[in-house]
Amino acid sequence: MSKDNNNFVKEITNIEDDFAKWYTDIVLKADLADYTDTKGCIAIKPYGYAIWENIQKYADKKFKKVGVKNIYLPVLIPESLLNKEKEHVEGFAPEVAWVTMGGNEKLEEKLCIRPTSETMFSVLYSKWVKSWRDLPMIYNQWCNVLRWEKETRPFLRSREFLWQEGHTVHETAEEAQKLTLKMLDTYAEIIEELLAIPVIKGRKTEKEKFAGAEATYTVETLMHDGRALQSGTSHYFGQNFTKPFNVKFQTREGKEEYAYQTSWGISTRLIGGVIMAHGDNRGLKLPPKVAPIQAVIVPVAMQKEGVKEKAEELYNKLSEEFRMEIDTRDNYTPGYKFNDWEMRGVPVRIEIGPRDIENGVCVFVRRDTSEKITVKLEEVSLKLEETLDKIQDNMFNECKNRMLEKTTTAQDMDEFIKNINENQGYVKAMWCGNEECENKIKELTGAHSRCIPFKKENISDKCVCCGKPAKEFVIWGRQY
């Protein structure tokens, strides 16, 4: 082997040895993102950003079917606006960045960079909503937000991140609640169908809900190491914001009433989820539907006559239907390239060399199973579609099986602690509904309540922590 064919996969930390280090290695070496001179903020590189673009396209299409309209509001929010809803400001004020100077002048009122936009939406809704005829307003923005986090990690907890924030306003509580759950279902579809990650849908406890919400619903996912990732949330606000912001409308009966509100968001955090849910010791592993490159063609013995041409012909043909790449770099060996594209998580590698061309075939290598499949050149489009579908399904199933393997049940705290230490993952346990027990569980195990799942199970009639009568079935887990 040539000297540059160093197996750089070795440069990636072993996933079982140090998952956190493995994660950072993937982010940097698969060229998804890089650190910047702005502390706590990353640069999302083309390969990482293309994943986000695919998520955006998929989500935006689904949103538009629900009737969502896109809009754009200011990134700066005056302090007085942020202060209008008490719980909300207490939740967010400690973690916002403040603009205090414009040009060379000190501002009379400082402005925060939006950590989320409930306040800005609400003040505008108070201008825009007059009659029941104006309702509902189902608006969304794709934008950047900033939260002054102390500890940051690329994609998972970055000071600045990209997201969408939907904010809606309705005539009735029922309609708003229905929309809240509709968006949660939409998130579940996006994450399961596109990202091939199974979700658990449920309601957050009072302690874990969004600052200012009546109820927060969540889609929870489980990562390779058994830690949970809150992957999308949808909030029902009732009139919590419409009252302080005076979002009133004339009802069908000619009376005045405060409107009902929701908000919901998913973010570039999902990219972190994809990395951690699917990746392995060979690197990133991308589900075909979201992969920026669905298949890469690597010509073998490229110096031989006709090989490069045939590979390019294949590339042109497949590019009409799939997101393709061809690797004709002349300063790397095929072996180096194989490793490189595996590490970057491309679902299918297509090898084609002189003997293949003679036989009218090429060889598919699946990233998920390493299976090699010899494919006739005239069937290549059909076979690639089929193979990508199989990979997408298999990745979802693998991920689901891992989740099930890492889900345990606990009747008491001894069992809870044993389970989470031996097989970190979800722990199902009953809860009395008391925040003291929730805090104690956190203290003893490091696990937060993930959610009160919509699918209830009846494990016991006693709280796992205090032994008093149980009120709720809860899924617990350590979190990102």
| Residue 75 within binding range of its own copies, rule CB under 8 A | yes
Give the footprint of its own copies on residues 147-176 (CB under 8 A). Answer: 148, 160, 162
Q: With contacts defined by CB under 8 A, name the span among 76-84, 174-182, 273-281, 317-325 that binds its own copies.
A: 76-84
| Residue 295 within binding range of its own copies, rule CB under 8 A | no
Site string for its own copies, 96-125 (x = CB under 8 A): xxxxxxxxx-----xx-x------x--xx-
Query: What SS3 state is found at 90?
Result: helix
Taking the complex as a whole, how short is the minimal distance between the CB of residue 108 and its own copies, in angstroms? 10
Q: With contacts defined by CB under 8 A, name the span among 126-134, 185-193, 400-408, 459-467 that binds its own copies.
A: 126-134
With CB under 8 A as the contact rule, the residue among 132, 139, 341, 431 that binds its own copies is 139
The residue among 75 and 377 lying less far from its own copies, judged by its C-beta, is 75
| Residue 78 within binding range of its own copies, rule CB under 8 A | yes
Residue 458 neighbours by CB under 8 Å, 6+ apart: 473
Please report the beta strands in 171-305, taking only residues with DSSP state E, as ranges in sequence order.
200-203, 215-222, 228-238, 248-250, 256-258, 260-267, 295-299
Residue ranges in 130-268 assigned as alpha helix (H): 173-189
With CB under 8 A as the contact rule, the residue among 41, 66, 417, 459 that binds its own copies is 41
The residue among 70 and 397 lying less far from its own copies, judged by its C-beta, is 70
| Residue 28 within binding range of its own copies, rule CB under 8 A | no
| Residue 30 within binding range of its own copies, rule CB under 8 A | no
| Residue 5 within binding range of its own copies, rule CB under 8 A | no
| Residue 464 within binding range of its own copies, rule CB under 8 A | no
Residue 76 neighbours by CB under 8 Å, 6+ apart: 99, 111, 112, 113, 114
Which strand (E) or helix (H) includes residue 374?
strand 372-376
Amino acid identity for residue 323 in this structure: R
What value, to the nearest 5°, has the Cα angle with vertex 424 and ends 398 and 282? 45
With CB under 8 A as the contact rule, the residue among 28, 66, 76, 301 that binds its own copies is 76
- Cα–Cα distance for residue pair 301/298, rounded to 1 Å: 10
With CB under 8 A as the contact rule, the residue among 66, 95, 172, 415 that binds its own copies is 95
What is the DSSP annotation of 259-320?
Answer: -EEEEEEEETHHHHHHHHHH-BTTB----TTT-S-SEEEEESSTTSTTHHHHHHHHHHHHHT
With CB under 8 A as the contact rule, the residue among 15, 32, 129, 146 that binds its own copies is 146
Query: What SS3 state is found at 35?
Result: strand
Please measure the distance between the N-terminal and C-terminal CA atoms of the chain and give it in whole angstroms: 41
Are 465 and 440 within 8 A, CB to CB? yes
Provide the binding-site residues for its own copies, judged by CB under 8 A: 34, 36-38, 41-46, 49-50, 52-53, 69-78, 81, 94-104, 110-111, 113, 120, 123-124, 127-128, 133, 139, 143-144, 146, 148, 160, 162, 331
